Amino acid sequence: VLGGVTVLVVGQIVTKFVIEPIYEQRKTVGAVADALIYYAHHFADSFDRPFSEVKDASDKFRRLAAELMARTVAIPGYRAWGALRLIRPYKEIVRARGCLFGLSNYLHRADFERKMQLARDAAQALNVVAVDTGLLEAPNGDDRGAQG
């Protein structure tokens, strides 16, 4: 009986302090993937926009960067888990955070190449394979549409 109680208690501790925080972080990574896809039309702009036009997207990327770090530091022993490759390495999470902050700051600017690179780097750092790499590629200069 004592062994069963011990297993239950240890299982609950592992669930509450390790598994649930990792799950919450994965949900945030999913939200990042969603935002990268949903706001991709802002990346390809080759003209300056008023900040008010991209404010929602900019706020979303900034919020996700902060949330990603908050979820990451809530995982006990994160660096050890990351070093074992059981979860994304800490330096990759920090890299993704920087890219998301960069996207937040660049969305209203005409520098589409920089925005596309930041989006690709964020997706790569988080190993978000659901984001189609073609979506985050610079437009092909030779593809000018159907010419008859």
> Whole-prediction pTM value?
0.82
Among 21-25, 102-106, 117-121, 136-140, where is mean pLDDT lowest? 136-140
Least confident of 12-16, 48-52, 108-112: 48-52
Contact 29, 68 (CB under 8 A): yes
Nearest-angstrom CA–CA distance, 103 and 36: 10
> Could you identify the residue written with the tokens 């999470």?
93
Question: Measured between alpha carbons, how far is 120 from 138 in angstroms, rounded to an integer?
Answer: 10
Q: What is the pLDDT of residue 139?
A: 58
Mean pLDDT of the chain: 87
Q: Which pLDDT value is given to residue 36?
A: 93
Task: Give yes or no for a contact between 136 and 36, defined as CB atoms under 8 angstroms apart.
Answer: yes
- Residue pair 82/90 in contact (Cβ under 8 Å)? The answer is yes
Residues 69 and 13: their CA atoms lie apart, in Å, by 22
Lookup: tokens for 84:
């074992």
Q: How many Å apart are CA 52 and CA 85, to the nearest integer?
A: 41
Task: Tell me the pLDDT tens digit for each residue of 49-79.
Answer: 777 888 999 999 999 999 999 999 999 999 9
Q: Is 35's pLDDT higher than 90?
A: yes
- Please give the structure tokens belonging to residue 75: 């995982």
